[in-house]
A and B are shown apart, each in its own frame.
Chain A
Amino acid sequence: MTARGWQGKSAAEWVTLALSVLMVGALVGVALVEESRRQEGDGAGLDVTFDTEQTVARGDTFNVPYTVHNTGPNAISSAEIWIDVFDGNLLKESAEVTVQFLPLEGKQDGVFVTTFDPATHTLMGRLESLQYP
């Protein structure tokens, strides 16, 4: 007994075709959702966050893990970011960090080395410039 279906196509072939439509449809759906999110994003979204709880003290310096997150609508080929260390409102240290490539929603982890204890100082990242591919 065979499971022939409409116009000679077997049930197995129909199932394969249905799964294929679902898989390709899912990919198209993801693309449309991502495009929609991309169009809602602002022009130059780049977040720098510091994980001060994971700071490692090495002699007179402190290694502070940080993450740069591209929240904008475009991939970034290069970005210059300044990391400022404040003691209250007083700027104590500044250093430039360059990110070479960040895809859409991409993240870049790194470690910022400073002589100031992040437990008693405030770290802030600010965007200096961006280049697109």
Chain B
Amino acid sequence: MRVGPRGSPARPRPGREWSDEVDDAVRGLASGFLIGVPVVFTVDSWWLGDQISPVDALTLLAFSYVLTLAAVYWAGFRHGLRRGWEYFGDALEAIALAILALVAVFWSLGQFGDGQPPSIALGRIAVAVAPVSLGIAIANHLLARDTSHIDLDLGDTSNVRAGWRNDGWRGTAFELAASAAGALFLCVTIVPVDDLSSIATEVPARNFPFVILLSLLVTYSVVFAAGFAGEANRHAATGPLQSPFAETITAYIIALLVSLAVLWFFGRVDAQTAVFAIYTKAVLLAFPASIAAAAGRLAV
């Protein structure tokens, strides 16, 4: 069984084993963040993780492995031919990448270390690992690779619009609108349940810069380093604000503005809200929103 786009070269490519390995891992992580981050930003999942016993956590981990194994078999996050026991190895790697992603997120939110008992970290990882590892395991299916655009339908609307990307300000405006749409899509699923207020009270003030840095890093990885469709074109784009660094920063600011707008629309912040409370909620919400904004750009 060949997993991957038709006509694409098998991996690892001779002489590029390490870069292909990193590429697959980053792509998997990006996909895992896209699928799993809304669960991480649900405070009920935190509380559930705080309550479960270590044995329950192990059971959840085993269950997640079985689910991930099935997803790896049908979609996968690696390129090229996989067979036999390699599926078991890939599923294990997907679980490990999910654990790594969750450690990064919870550490940036100040929930690991700093006197927190290991059982809390264990429980929270166990509860959130399934959606993240499933996201990693379907990376091949979720978003196309660069080489999957070998059979372009030139009459397709999205491909016609794709030509705008190199059209100066028009292309820039197109990208920004796609970012805003992606961020809005995710914000309206998180803000109404108001878990952000509970999460914001649990995150130490010194950790918010780490949340901002992680948001920028993940956003950059999704669009420019994960090998998703159109990556080469994005690196070559010449429009204003379309260098990788400028586009990442601009997209993050868009995600922040959309986050603030949605928070205000649902009454989570208003003129009487303290400035620091607005800052904390906006920065927290902008993390998943910026990832969705990156996905929005990929979608166009």
Contact = CB atoms under 8 A, between A and B. Distances in A.
Contacts of A16: 21, 25, 93
B278 to A, nearest CB: 25
Given A12-B17, A35-B54, A107-B115, A28 B61 contact: yes
Contact of A27 (B89, B99, B117): B99
Interface in A1-16: 1-3, 9-13, 15-16
B122 A20 contact: no
A59 to B, nearest CB: 26
Given A31-B122, A106-B50, A12 B18 contact: yes
A105 B117 contact: yes
A104 B123 CA distance: 10
Interface string B53-93: 11101100100000000000000000000000010010011
B119 A103 contact: yes
Contacts of B118: 30, 33-34, 105
Nearest to B18: A12
B262 interface: no
B57 A31 contact: yes
A28 B118 CA distance: 12
A106 B53 contact: no
A32 B54 CA distance: 7
B19 to A, nearest CB: 9
A15 B18 CA distance: 10
B190 interface: no
A1 B14 CA distance: 7
Do most interface residues of chain B lie in helix, strand or loop, or is the interface mixed? helix
B15 interface: yes
A66 to B, nearest CB: 16
B105 to A, nearest CB: 15
A38 B53 contact: yes
Nearest to A20: B96
Interface residues of A, number: 35
A32 to B, nearest CB: 7
B244 interface: no
B255 interface: no
B264 interface: no
Nearest to A132: B51
B216 interface: no
Contacts of B122: 27, 30-31, 34
B86 to A, nearest CB: 8
Interface of A: 1-3, 9-13, 15-17, 19-21, 23-24, 27-28, 30-35, 38, 74-75, 77, 101, 103-107, 133
Interface of B: 12, 14-15, 17-18, 20-21, 25, 47, 50-55, 57-58, 61, 86, 89, 92-93, 95-97, 99-100, 115, 117-123, 125
22 contacts: A1-B15, A2-B15, A12-B20, A13-B12, A17-B89, A19-B96, A20-B92, A20-B95, A24-B99, A30-B118, A30-B122, A31-B61, A35-B53, A75-B51, A75-B52, A101-B47, A103-B119, A104-B50, A104-B120, A104-B123, A105-B117, A133-B51
